[in-house]
Structure formats: structure tokens, C-alpha cells
Structure 1
Amino acid sequence: MISIVVPAHNESSVIARTLSQWVGKPGSDELRVVVVCNGCTDDTANIARRFGPTIKVVELETPRKTHALNLGDQVANIFPRIYADADIVITVDAILALARRLNEGDVLAVAPTAEINLAGCSWLVRKYFGIRSRLPSSREGIGGSGVYALSEAGRRRFGQFPDVTADDTYVRLQFRREERETLACVRSTVFAPRTLLQLVTVRTRAYRGTFELARRFPELRANKGAANNWTLVTLFKEPRLWLGLLIYCWVNIAARCYATRGGRPGDHLWQRDETSRMALPNSIK
């Protein structure tokens, strides 16, 4: 058996897309899904309940992802345990593959490789992700794919999820490189922001999360992955990539500058891109 914890804050536009991959499919009887609706003011909980007894729905008044993760841990009592964002798509087969890898026992945390869905995105956003796909960070699933899986021993590595912005990065840094793995043959679909402004917003939040972790948990820096800097320098040797590189660098410089200005009231709540949650005619169901 495998447990899946899905924190969900006002995800009525996408929660059915996520859950429909796990209900009524071959192998879905192996899954026990807990959807933690935190601070929802929309129909997320009712939509999730329509999927039947396979999906357990619990509700929390506080709109904080880490609180939802902690409540999900209290309800879920099975390992391996998958933590999945409510706006991504991952199949039952992919989840079973993550669990099999953990059951081999030589790693404590695994994740799929992110497949970025760029449907409806501006060409500037497409250029950005064209460069990102060439960087080492794009091959780090915990913090990039919207999904990660922990063995029971892996989950014991830390206590409750602390109230941080970058919960997935916090989890990744609990493990040395040889203790975690991103599976190249297992994919999750992540939906990119459709406008450059929303992309800068998302990246600003990511930098704030990184800065927060460095300040509060400096000892975790020892488990960081490979940096992008040297790869970026080598990419500048290819003139055909210059436009994309300029866009990539501008987005991250702007986001870093915004992030260093400090948070605003409410920044501890979920800040997320809404454009990627808008339905498209040919989007994944």
C-alpha cells in the first residue's frame, strides 16, 4: 500500500484533473489518498469527495501548506508516502514506480522528473524554460516536479514540517545526494506560468523560500545539489541561445531582487500562479 498526501488550497479548477489519474485505474487499489483542504473558500472539498472512498478528505481552517502536510501525516499511516501538489498530474504507474524504488532500500527519498507543460504560455516563458531544461537544477525532482516520495526511514529524518515557504526544498536538504534520487524514467506534469510577470512572481517566491531556509537552517546547505552557474557560462558560447539566456537571467535577477526586499503581510500564506490553473481546450484531463 502507498499513501498520498495532497495539500489543497482553493484548487477547485484543477483538483479533479489530479485525482482522476488515481481512481478507477489499474493499480489504484494500492493507493490511499488524503486530500487536506486548508483554508478553502471554494468547492475543492466537495469535488474531491465525489471521487468516492478512495479519497479521504479532511478540512483545515488555516490556509498554510505546511499545516496541511502535518495534518496529512497524522491521517496517513502507510509507507511509502507520496506528497503531491494539487495542480500537477502524475499517473498511478509513476507512483508505483516511485514506491518500488524506495522499497529497494538504498535511497530514502525519490521524485519523478518534471515534464513542463507550456500550453498557452507566452514565447518569453517558452524561451525561459528552453534554457532551464539545459541546467542541472531541471533534473532535481524534489522541488521541481511537484511530487516527492519518502520511505518510513526517510520520513523519520525530520519531525513536523516547519512553517516555511519552500517545504519541498526543506525536505530535499534533509538527505545527502546519495540518499535521494530523481528518476529519469518517471514523469510528472507541471504546468508553467503563462506570462512572464507570473513567472517572475513564482521565482520570487522560490528565492524567498531559499533565503529563508539558508537563514533558519544553515546546516542543511551541505546537502545542496549541483549549481547552475558553470552550465550557464558554457551556454553563452552558443549565440543561438543568447536571447533565451538573457530572458532567463533577467527573470532570475528580477526575482532575486524582489525576494531580498523582504516579505509583505500575508506572504506566509500560499502565493501561487493562477494562470497555470486556467483550463485549456487541449489540457490534460
Structure 2
Amino acid sequence: MTTVPAASVIIPAYNESKALKRLLPRLHDASPDARFDVIVVCNGCHDDSFDVAARFGDNIRVINQVEGSKTKALNAGDEIAKAFPRIYLDADSEVTPGDLAAVCKTLEEPGVMAVGAVANFDASGASWAVAAYYKAWSLLPFGRNPSSIGGSGIYALSREGRARFDAFPDVIADDGFINHLFTAAEKARCTDCVVRITPPRTWWSLVKIKSRVFRGNRQLQAMGIHPPAESNKTGSGILSLILSPRTLVPAIVYAVTQVAARLYAHLIQPLTRQRWQRDETTR
């Protein structure tokens, strides 16, 4: 008798050997019982990511895509996925099968078609500036906004939610694209799924990856896609943190980092002609 998967989990991976070694054992060991259809799409890899993923046998399927493109990797995974919901998971986001099950359960709530999770940035191995940035981030409204599914390295769509679009477009911010497809009432943040994310170790690397957010938002805006109104509360949130002595320093670090990332995105990064910025300090 064929077991029907509870969900398909699509993991795009670009040179993510170390991350896959942390993530896949958890998903592999539980896959037969949890019934998850796990698909790793290695795209443009120059390391042994494909070999690492292929070691896990039938419980985890692997695609080797020559071109390095996250959105094309998501589409490739979608083409062979067997089940709904569809869970899209960054390779460097650490989750358990229980986390995935909680996300699926949240999608069962009436009217909910898109679900995000809670991000836990473990800055214990990072510089003081990086730790301060994420302390401020954790206190801002956007990080807890139930009507935004971005920022945690994972989001899930029901069958009806996935039917909202044909294929992932060639965008930098795939989660931003997904966000705009649903109203606030159609989205939820699963508080029972806490994703452990290891941030960059250095401030300059943090600036570079945050510049990707600005570039991604600018690209979406050029397509006529704008962030939800609920996410535009960062300014007032930072002001309240600055006015508190206990959070003054983190707030200043956050603000300076955001300004530096915006400048990098608009002035410095275009000169490098690199379309994708990513952190190499934790890989």
C-alpha cells in the first residue's frame, strides 16, 4: 500500500553542504513516519551539496540543476512534488518534523492559505554588532506580524494557495512575491514552528545580505508589488527602542545597518554586477 505524503517540502540549495548535513538527518529519520515528501534542488552548486543530499536514499529526492537560480529551483521542485501542502524551506533554516507538522496544522485553519513561522536568530557566534541588530529586530513589530509570512526561511501554501500563481517569477524576494498574493486574513504565522537561523558572524556580511532585501523590494515595486501596510511600522518601532535606555544601542546599530544596507544596494552592489548576495561566514 502506497503511503500518501502529508506534505511536500521543497529545499533549494546553492552550495549548502554544511547546512544540509545539519538539516537532512532530522527530516530523513522522521520521513517514513511523518510522511513528508522531501525534495532538495541543488542549483548551480560547486560543492558536494548534491552528494550530501543523495546519501539519504529514497526518503529524500534530489535534483541537480545546472543553473544557480532559487526561483527556478522552487519551480523544479514543484514539478515533481507529490503532495499538498507545499512547504518551501531554505536549506540553512533548522527545523524538525514537528515544526513542519505544526505548519501544516495551521494551514487547516479556516480561510488560511499561506503560513510562515517564527524566526529565532542564534547570534551566539556572531559579533556584538550583529547580536545587537537581531536584538532590536526581535523587538520590532514586523518580526511578530501575523499577516506577513516572510523572514523565517520557511513558508507553506495550501493547494488553493498554490493555485494563486502559475510559477515562481524570476525575483530576488520570493517570499515577498508570495506575501502580496494573499490578504491578511488569508495568512498566518505558526507560533509552534520556531526556525533556528544562524546569522552572519560579521557586521559587513550582515550589511551585504540585508542589501538583498532592499534590492528585492525595489524589484517587486517595479513589478507593481508593494509590501503589506502592516509591515510599514519599523520607523515608529525603532523610535520607541531609541527612547528606551535598555534598547538604545541595539536600536542605533539596527538603524545604521539598515542605512548601510540601503546604500550598498543602491550604490556599491550594482558596481560588482553580482545579482545575489549571501553570507559566507557561516558556510
Length-normalised TM-score, structure 1 = 0.91
Q: Which amino acid is the alignment partner of residue 39 of structure 1?
A: G
Name 2:196's counterpart in structure 1: 189
Q: Number of aligned residue pairs: give it.
A: 275
Distance 1:259 1:267, change over 3 A: same
Runs of 4+ in structure 1 displaced over 4 angstroms?
A: 220-224
Distance in 2, matches of 1:111 and 1:240, equals 30
Distance in 2, matches of 1:22 and 1:167, equals 23
Distance 1:138 1:104, change over 3 A: closer
Question: Is the partner of 1:248 in helix, strand or coil?
Answer: helix
Q: Could you give the per-residue CA deviations for residues 8-41 of structure 1, whole angstroms, max 9, x where no partner exists?
A: 1111121121111212238744100110111111
Greater alpha carbon shift after TM alignment, 102-111 vs 206-215: 102-111
Q: CA deviation at 1:267?
A: 3.1
Q: Which amino acid is the alignment partner of residue 111 of structure 2?
A: D
Q: Could you give the per-residue CA deviations for residues 69-127 of structure 1, whole angstroms, max 9, x where no partner exists?
A: 11111011310010000111011011011111112342000111001111310111111
Name 2:47's counterpart in structure 1: 42
Question: Is the partner of 1:16 in helix, strand or coil?
Answer: helix
Is 1:91 matched up with 2:96?
yes
Greater alpha carbon shift after TM alignment, 157-166 vs 237-246: 237-246
Q: CA RMSD in A?
A: 1.8
Q: CA deviation at 1:276?
A: 2.4
Q: 2:129 aligns with which of 124, 130, 134?
A: 124
Q: CA deviation at 1:265?
A: 5.9
Unmatched runs of 5 consecutive residues or more in structure 1: 278-285
Name 2:278's counterpart in structure 1: 272
Question: Is the partner of 1:184 in helix, strand or coil?
Answer: strand
Is 1:228 matched up with 2:234?
yes
Unmatched runs of 5 consecutive residues or more in structure 2: 1-5
Higher fraction of helix: 2
Name 2:3's counterpart in structure 1: none
Distance in 1, matches of 2:263 and 2:47, equals 34
Q: CA deviation at 1:226?
A: 4.6
Question: Is the partner of 2:124 in helix, strand or coil?
Answer: coil
Question: Is the partner of 2:243 in helix, strand or coil?
Answer: coil
Q: Which amino acid is the alignment partner of residue 37 of structure 1?
A: C
Name 1:255's counterpart in structure 2: 261
Q: 2:169 aligns with which of 156, 162, 171?
A: 162
Q: CA deviation at 1:222?
A: 5.2
Distance in 1, matches of 2:117 and 2:61, equals 24
Q: 2:7 aligns with which of 2, 13, 35?
A: 2
**2:114 and 2:157 in contact (8 A); partners too:** yes
